[in-house]
């Protein structure tokens, strides 16, 4: 009865919150690149933040229009290349933990306050660009502080015809290019399980394939190869800077081929991330992450995007023993009303060989955009984490109603 009453109260508040959101939906603003180039956000996005093929070309061309190599510095341009994003949400979280056959449960119903993400990017000279993302995050009750999530300097179009991005170089703090980066998914409340996998505790800084990290890389795009070959090779210091590369170092390689089928892109990507990190006990862990990704866009109706990624992970020092994990995810995004209404779902899974720990995560959601940069979403995510080695099983049910606004 208590759980049913809690869920009923949650639904009533969802209805109220949705009503408020709908009434507020007429507000409109133009985010950074759309404002600069006088286009809709949907020019580069299927639905923000998911990039379409044009958006991927824009990104790999160091945030310049594909086929161009700009030279006018940002301080001579109008309007100012500055944008903000905020995303408050309302969350219901139900967790049941079973340890040696004994159940405990918790229920949380709360507003999740939003930080404010600041973005700026632009050209400083011909072949020279920058990108900066600086979120203002919550550090305590009623307290906020700015942080640097990503900041990179990009030397672009160094070889080959200008605007084709055959060969570029960047350094700073950034996410390596991957077929499915963790910050360009319709799913908002559930992380990719394989990207969060880190069985050993590092002394300083994480080596996580999807997180922003201090690094340098060469990257580029060859439109001459079939319908576009994208690549990147880099070296990373991990998520924390100022660390001796002898103590924390990883290399990254990625190649991704695109082929159009009836004007719909099909992609196949391969990637590797590996290195070594010093642990809290001053020993070292040698790790590797490798896998492949497939992205199939429906060539008939142009309304379905089916995607899949698989990853194999190996660490040679987890409590003095080696450990391996296999996992991945498969998802489907469905366009119901172009530039307005989307349905989506994703299944994530991991399995650790040595401990037999299994994770299964199911997420479904719906998103509606009042404008390209103003939207609301409702998501349900179920996670089952079973660890026989600890006789522990944790099941969580997370329901999220959120708003996304960029200006």
More confident residue, 83 or 176: 176
**3-state DSSP assignment of residue 146:** strand
pLDDT at 79: 64
What phi and psi, each to the nearest 5 degrees, are found at residue 164?
-90, -15
Within its chain, how far is the Cα of 380 from the centroid? 18
∠ Cα 154 159 163 (to 5°): 70
pLDDT at 205: 87
Q: What is the pLDDT of residue 72?
A: 79
Q: Which residues pair with 151 in a beta bridge?
A: 132, 173
pLDDT > 70: what percent of the chain?
A: 91
Residue 18 pLDDT > 60, yes or no?
no
Whether residue 277 has pLDDT greater than 90: yes
Average per-residue pLDDT in the chain?
A: 87
User: Average pLDDT, stretch 127-136?
Assistant: 90
The answer to whether residues 168 and 220 touch, using CB atoms and an 8 Å cutoff, is: yes
Q: Is the pTM of this model over 0.85?
A: yes
Count of other CB atoms within 10 angstroms of residue 319: 10
Q: Which residue has the tokens 């992970």?
A: 313
Q: Label residue 221 by pLDDT band (50, 70, 90).
A: very high
Higher-scoring residue by pLDDT: 85, 310:
310
Residue range 31-46: mean pLDDT, rounded: 80
> Among 13-22, 70-79, 105-114, 310-319, which is the least confidently predicted range?
13-22
**CA gap 231, 269 in Å, rounded:** 9
Kindly list the distances between the CA atom of residue 260 and the CA atoms of 13, 164, 296, 299, in Å, as whole numbers in the listed order: 45, 18, 10, 9
For residue 76, pLDDT over 90 is answered with no
Work out the average pLDDT over 262-273: 96
Task: Give the class (CATH, top level) of 2-406.
Answer: mainly beta
Spatial CB neighbours of 296, under 8 Å, sequence gap ≥ 6: 266, 305, 306, 307
Beta strand residue intervals within 175-263, DSSP E:
213-222, 229-238, 248-261
Average pLDDT value for residue range 27-51: 73
What is the phi/psi pair of residue 215, to 5°? -160, 170
* Maximum distance among all Cα pairs of the chain, rounded to whole angstroms: 68
pLDDT at 40: 80
pLDDT value at position 5? Answer: 42
Q: What is the pLDDT of residue 82?
A: 80
Domain ranges of the chain: 2-406
pLDDT digits 0-9 by tens, 298-356 = 999 999 999 999 999 999 999 999 999 999 999 999 999 998 999 999 999 999 999 99
pLDDT digit string, tens, across residues 373-402: 889 999 999 999 999 988 999 999 999 999
When pLDDT is cut at 50, 70 and 90, the band that residue 115 belongs to is low
Q: Which of 7, 4, 17, 55 is nearest to 34 (CA)?
A: 55
Q: Which of 2-6, 113-117, 167-171 has the lowest mean pLDDT?
A: 2-6
Of the ranges 96-105, 247-256, 306-315, which one carries the lowest mean pLDDT score?
96-105
């Amino acid at each position: 009865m208590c759980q049913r009453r809690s869920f009923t109260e949650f639904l009533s508040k969802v209805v109220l919150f949705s009503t408020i959101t709908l009434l507020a939906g007429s507000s409109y603003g133009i985010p950074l690149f759309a404002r600069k180039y006088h286009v809709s956000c949907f020019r580069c996005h299927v639905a923000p933040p998911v990039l379409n093929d044009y958006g991927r070309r824009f990104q790999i061309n160091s945030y310049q229009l594909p086929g161009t190599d700009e030279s006018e510095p940002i301080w001579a341009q109008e309007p100012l290349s500055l944008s903000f994003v905020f995303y408050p949400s309302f969350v219901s979280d139900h967790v049941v933990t079973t340890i040696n056959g004994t159940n405990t449960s918790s229920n949380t119903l709360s507003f999740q306050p939003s930080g404010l993400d600041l973005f700026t990017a632009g050209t400083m000279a011909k072949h020279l660009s920058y990108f900066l993302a600086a979120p203002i995050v919550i550090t305590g009750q009623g307290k906020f502080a700015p942080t640097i999530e990503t900041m990179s300097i990009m030397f672009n179009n160094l070889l080959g015809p200008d605007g084709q991005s055959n060969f570029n170089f960047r350094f700073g703090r950034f996410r390596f290019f991957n077929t499915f980066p963790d910050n360009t998914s319709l799913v908002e409340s559930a992380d990719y399980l394989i990207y969060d996998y880190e069985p050993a505790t590092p002394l300083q800084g994480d080596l996580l394939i999807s997180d922003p990290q201090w690094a340098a890389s060469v990257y580029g795009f060859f439109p001459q190869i079939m319908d576009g070959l994208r690549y990147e090779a880099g070296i990373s210091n991990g998520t924390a800077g100022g660390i001796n590369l002898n103590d924390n170092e990883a290399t990254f390689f990625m190649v991704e081929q695109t082929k159009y089928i009836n004007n719909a892109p099909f992609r196949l990507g391969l990637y590797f991330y590996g290195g070594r990190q010093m642990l809290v006990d001053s020993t070292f862990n040698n790790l590797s992450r490798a896998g492949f990704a497939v992205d199939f866009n429906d060539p008939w109706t142009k309304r379905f995007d089916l995607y899949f990624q698989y990853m194999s992970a190996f660490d040679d020092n987890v409590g003095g023993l080696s450990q391996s994990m296999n996992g991945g995810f498969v998802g489907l995004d469905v366009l119901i009303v172009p530039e307005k209404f989307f349905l989506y779902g994703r299944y994530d899974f991991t399995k650790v060989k040595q401990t037999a720990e299994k994770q299964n995560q199911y997420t479904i959601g719906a998103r509606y955009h009042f404008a390209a940069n103003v939207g609301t979403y409702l998501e349900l995510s179920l996670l089952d984490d079973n660890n026989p080695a600890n006789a522990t099983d944790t099941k969580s049910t997370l329901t999220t109603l959120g708003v996304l606004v960029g200006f």
